A and B are shown apart, each in its own frame.
Chain A
Amino acid sequence: DAKTTQPPSMDCAEGRAANLPCNHSTISGNEYVYWYRQIHSQGPQYIIHGLKNNETNEMASLIITEDRKSSTLILPHATLRDTAVYYCIVRVGDSWGKLQFGAGTQVVVTP
């Protein structure tokens, strides 16, 4: 599976949009981009995933560049409860493979 690069930390003001970047320059054509977050003392929470097109759900939007070498997770209106470690993971879309977690981005939302 392709590796990803994320900034180690980001601060965001409450109520503002949080834009989390992820680089995956070696991504293959059949690899999906997944985003998870982990709030302290909880399990990882699935946020969103995509293959080529931009995706949106009730939690966030995922913007994937046309060459698929990078993506951005957008939290439209950050709240204090969005403070967490955010993981960008790239992997083939089979059902049985492991999620290779990197170090992630520690996002701190401040009042």
Chain B
Amino acid sequence: DTEVTQTPKHLVMGMTNKKSLKCEQHMGHRAMYWYKQKAKKPPELMFVYSYEKLSINESVPSRFSPECPNSSLLNLHLHALQPEDSALYLCASSQAGQDGQPQHFGDGTRLSIL
């Protein structure tokens, strides 16, 4: 069982729709991440939030808009997506500190764009 919860588990949307992916953790972690994973490929980082502030954006298109309303929640707002954006979207979190604390992942939202 994962301690990072992602909803919904599956999402099908049209290219003109607006939807949001949600991620929640209650481990007291102050860093949260969005990764994207295409079929048969490894995960790739999209965004990093540290202490609720965006610290890394891996040149992600503006049709993906992250939001961190508080230390436990992370959202990914989706608008005008393309069929190539169909993928598994993974959320992760980690503790603060410099001692190599690992990231912990949720089971993802599988997104399909029609």
Contacts and interface: CB of A to CB of B under 8 A. Distances in A.
A95 B95 contact: yes
B104 interface: yes
Interface in B63-89: none
The CB with the most chain A CB atoms within 10 A, among B33, B44, B95, B102, is that of B102
Interface residues of B, number: 33
A51 interface: yes
B42 A95 contact: no
Interface string A95-111: 11111011110000000
Q: What is the interface residue range for chain A against chain B?
A: 20 to 34
B43 A96 contact: no
A54 B5 CA distance: 31
Given A96-B31, A96-B50, A98-B56, A43 B96 contact: no
A87 B94 CA distance: 18
A43 B95 contact: no
Nearest to B51: A96
Given A96-B31, A98-B45, A43 B97 contact: no
Nearest to B102: A46
A95 B98 CA distance: 6
B51 to A, nearest CB: 10
A47 B66 CA distance: 28
Given A98-B48, A98-B56, A93 B90 contact: no
Interface string A14-50: 0000000000000000001010100001111110010
B105 A95 contact: no
A46 B104 contact: yes
B43 A93 contact: no
Contacts of A94: 98
A30 to B, nearest CB: 9
Interface of A: 32, 34, 36, 41-46, 49, 51, 87, 93-99, 101-104
